[in-house]
Amino acid sequence: MAFVLSNFARQSVGLNTGEVTADSVIYGAPAQFSYRSAADSVATIVGANYFANVVYSLSLNDLIYLVGSDAVGMYVVSGLDRAAGTVSLTAASLTGTVQTANIANGAVLNAQVGAAAAIAFSKLEVMTSGNILVGSAANVATEVTQSGDVLIIASGATSIQANKVLSSMVSPLLLKYAAVTMSSAQFAGAYATPHLLVAAPGANQLLSLVSCQVLMTYVTTQYANGGVSHVQYDSTANGAGIIASSTQAAADWNDAVSTANQYNAGIVKQPFSTCVNKGLYFSNVTGAFDTGNSTFVAHVWYQDIPTV
């Protein structure tokens, strides 16, 4: 291709453009031009005869900003022979400071930031003390307040919040705990319909009761009649499930005050066929209670142990 005059323009308006420093060399009042070509490479443009058509418009040390088909750059007119129509260009780079107003918004990309930039954290946006950065659903780093089971403070120290570690989070071999409410109707009806305390654990797993503390909150009416109570495996009616605890006499529940009764671990044979993968239930063994209206909470401590 060849020089295109319409792509050549003078950028400096007056004759005195002031001093310009390029590669530590001070040039006095050079004229400044620009040239753009989508067809020619920079190597072609800086050839000795490329600017022959405008050789009389140029002077030594003038600056030409080139935009070629493959690159951009700034060049100094380092040689000029108007009789021969030749112009020599030398690559140069300006020194100084680029002001913020001269950088287009969004122009600085990741590629323009050096790998060794080591940008100080203090240069980032201000964050609330104790907050953290989390990738959002849109894959953007977002400031959020730490929440959930773990708390983090400004020093970086973390702590587990109260009542956040549950039995389901720990090894099945560790002691587990459950608190189960029981209405007056569920308590009185536990002879025909035993009340679930701990659900069946799954195949090849056996619930081993350690202790069960049943707390009765007295309302207005005492319980009467009823029978011996215990904790048993499975929901077999009339107390016919395999016993998993000690027993309490019916009279222990006939008080007119709030009462707690302790059921300890049972010491009876536990056939796998009736105990493995079976839940623990509160049951009346010999008869149902009546007339009472007090309510209950059963606090159960147990282990979930493998049988294979």
Domain over 5-92 is classified CATH 2.40.240: yes
- The residue-averaged pLDDT of 74-103 equals 83
Q: SS3 of 283, please? A: strand
Q: Could you tell me which residues come within 8 angstroms of residue 41 by beta carbon, excluding any fewer than 6 positions away?
A: 68, 69, 70, 71
**Average pLDDT of span 12-20:** 58
CA separation for the pair 212, 301 (Å, rounded): 6
Residue ranges per structural domain of the chain: 5-92, 170-306
Task: Give the domain 170-306 fold.
Answer: Jelly Rolls (2.60.120)
Which DSSP string do the residues of 56-78 spell out, in sequence order?
GG--TT-EEEEE-SS-EEEEEEE
What is the rounded CA–CA span in Å between residue 46 and residue 65? 11
Q: Is the pLDDT of residue 168 over 60?
A: yes
- Confidence band for 93, pLDDT divided at 50, 70 and 90: confident
Q: What angle do CA 189, 193, 198 make, to 5 degrees?
A: 110
Reduce the DSSP state of residue 87 to 3 states and report it: strand
Q: Is the pLDDT of residue 23 over 60?
A: no
Q: What local confidence, expressed as pLDDT, does residue 182 receive? A: 98
Q: Which of 247, 252, 261, 234 is nearest to 289 (CA)?
A: 252
Mean pLDDT (whole number) for 57-64: 90
DSSP conformation letters of 93-107 = -B-S---GGGS-TT-
CA distance 39 to 268: 95
Q: Which residue has the higher pLDDT, 145 or 211?
A: 211
Query: Could you tell me which of 157, 177, 173 has the C-alpha nearest to residue 165?
Result: 177
Residue 171 predicted with pLDDT over 80: no
Residue 192 has pLDDT above 90, yes or no: yes
Instruction: Please tell me the predicted confidence (pLDDT) of residue 113.
Output: 87
Residues 243-268 pLDDT 10s? 999 999 999 999 999 999 999 998 78
Partners of residue 291 on adjacent β-strands: none
Are 270 and 242 in contact, with CB atoms under 8 Å apart?
yes
283 touches 252 (CB < 8 A):
no
Instruction: Give CA–CA dist 37/288, Å, rounded.
Output: 99
Answer yes or no: are the C-beta atoms of 263 and 187 closer than 8 Å. Answer: no
Residue 169's pLDDT is: 78
